[in-house]
Amino acid sequence: MSEFIQLHLLVSYPPSNLNRDDLGRPKTAIMGGKTRLRISSQSLKRAWRTSDIFASAVPGHTGIRTKNLGVYIKKSYETGMKLSDLLSGNEGAEPVFTGIDEEKASAWARVLSEQTGKLKGAESLSIEQLTHFDPSEISALEKVIAVTATSLKEPGEEDTAVFLTVLSGVDIAMFGRMLAASPRFNIEAAVQVAHAITVNTVVIEDDYFTAVDDLNRGEENIGAGHLGEMEFGSGVFYLYLCINRSLLLENLDNDKDLANKALAALVEATAKVSPSGKQSTFASRAYASYMMVEKGTQQPRSLSVAFLKPVTDNDILAAAIARLNDTKLKMDTVYGPCADSVTVMDASAGTGSLKEIIAFVKE
């Protein structure tokens, strides 16, 4: 049976616009007939997987999601530089083979790019689908580029097996991959992430602001140099994640040590890392104020129903914590224990710790 780890977090964000819609407004959702602020799961997952926490916890084990890998393949062919150096921005690195001419570089890059997805056009090096590439796949491509450039032999059928089923990238193992052109290389996500929603009703507010021209001394025009308007909101967010530990191990070829490092990085990132939207304007960075973690083989379930009726108490955080615990207790009463073991960190009360949470998840 699969073992599930469920995370329930409460995070309080001050005025912010962390995740915008097509009009630049904070994303919202209607829940229980009331408007709530929302942060999409896509926004949260990107913030976590690209964070310094992931980079330091699992160096060399995060992938790259792009449509433009072919552009870098061509550049590698031309310059003789390693593909990984170019992708990481290390363009001052020394070449490792002699580069080839632009015509061959373009043609051979297209041959390899076609194996990663449908090209946008006959002369394009970019593919239509945004694709997540595993570090081991980048490494395999890197070897093909070096061998074919050195031998001056165009990549053949034996060189174009780009995608792999055994991964070393924890982000793909966690959040999955869907390849429309090559479904056999799809990876089922081991981590499911809900959209975060506020436990309280919100009203999107408008910030009318002006900017002053530093060289305007009021001699001719004393008006502002710029007028603008920005929308924002604030609230306490409920965030839910479900981790299938068994599937994560399977996706990582049963590398338990790597899986534990990945789990530790994910838990720390969920507690500490905020989406990057409008951070320079609002500095709306926040740590989780409350985290409940459950482990067991029981069927997972969110506790979002606790906030179907919006919290209206003056102390929203305390009321939200009480609602969450009350809902869990009632669910356990009706269905039986919904997990084998539970641990809690409550920063508002100064109890528990992130260190204890991570140790619990890794057990």
Looking at the predicted structure, is the pLDDT value of residue 220 above 80?
Answer: no
Per-residue DSSP letters for 216-254?
Answer: --SSS--S-SEEEEEEEEEEEEEEEEEEEHHHHHHHTTT
Residue 1 has pLDDT above 70, yes or no: no
Other CB atoms within 10 Å distance of the CB of residue 343: 17
- The structural domains of the chain, with segments of one domain joined by +, span 4-59+189-204+233-362, 64-168
Task: Report the distance separating Cα 323 and Cα 332, nearest Å.
Answer: 14
For residue 233, pLDDT beyond 70: yes
Q: 354: helix, coil or strand? A: helix
Query: How far, in Å, CA of 180 to CA of 166, rounded?
Result: 19
125 near 154, Cβ under 8 Å? no
pLDDT digits (tens, 9 = 90+) for 308-352: 999 999 999 999 999 999 999 999 999 999 999 999 999 999 999
Q: Note the pLDDT tens digit of each residue in 160-197.
A: 677 777 778 999 999 999 887 778 889 999 999 999 99
Instruction: Name the residue among 293, 351, 349 with its Cα closest to residue 317.
Output: 349
pLDDT of 189 reads 96
Mean pLDDT, all residues of the chain = 92
Specify burial of residue 38 (Cβ count, 10 A radius: 0-12, 13-18, 19+). buried
Q: Mean pLDDT, to the nearest integer, of 114-137?
A: 90
DSSP 20: B
CA–CA gap between residue 296 and residue 300 (Å, rounded): 9
